[in-house]
Homo-oligomer: A and B are copies of this chain.
């Protein structure tokens, strides 16, 4: 349960109000989120495929992250019809698609660290 009056929460709200940049950062800046969005855009769009692609993520965490991204309207969960056992496919919303060119830019920028990463 979240403590709405902790300094943590107060600062979070302060930053969100200050600039939408911070809103966006709090969405894409948590662990796995960006990688999951990118993977889904590449066609890695099912639960077990994501588990294979990201072997270090636990089912618990993957499930949690997918649910959050769905709530944020970045991905949509669709049931694959006539499948046994039940199958699920995740696809990006237009809001999610809009992130892809941004990720390209961020990725380019991050590459400057691949060289001197261990300083």
The chain A residues found within 8 Å of chain B, CB to CB, are 7, 10-12, 14-16, 18-25, 27-32, 34-35, 38, 56-57, 71-72, 95, 98-99, 101-103, 105-114, 117, 119
Q: Which of A7, A72, A112 has the most chain B CB atoms inside 10 A of its CB? A: A112
Q: How far is the CA of A93 from the CA of B75 in the complex (A)?
A: 36
Q: Which residues of B contact A11 (CB under 8 A)?
A: 31, 56-57
- With both chains docked as a complex, state the minimum distance between the C-beta of A113 and any C-beta of chain B, in angstroms: 5
Min CB–CB distance A22 → chain B (angstroms): 6
Given the interface contacts A25-B28, A34-B25, A57-B11, does A20 sit within 8 Å of B111 by beta carbon?
A: yes
What is the CB-to-nearest-CB distance from A2 to chain B, in angstroms, rounded to a whole number? 14
- Determine whether the beta carbon of B102 is less than 8 Å from that of A25: no
**In the complex, what residues of B have CB within 8 A of residue A71's CB?**
119
- State the majority secondary structure of interface residues on A: helix
A112 to B95, CA, bound (A): 8
Q: Which of B24, B31, B110 is the one whose CB lies under 8 Å from A23? A: B110
Which of B24, B31, B38, B113 makes the CB contact (< 8 A) with A110? B24
Contact between chains at B23 and A35 (CB < 8 Å): no
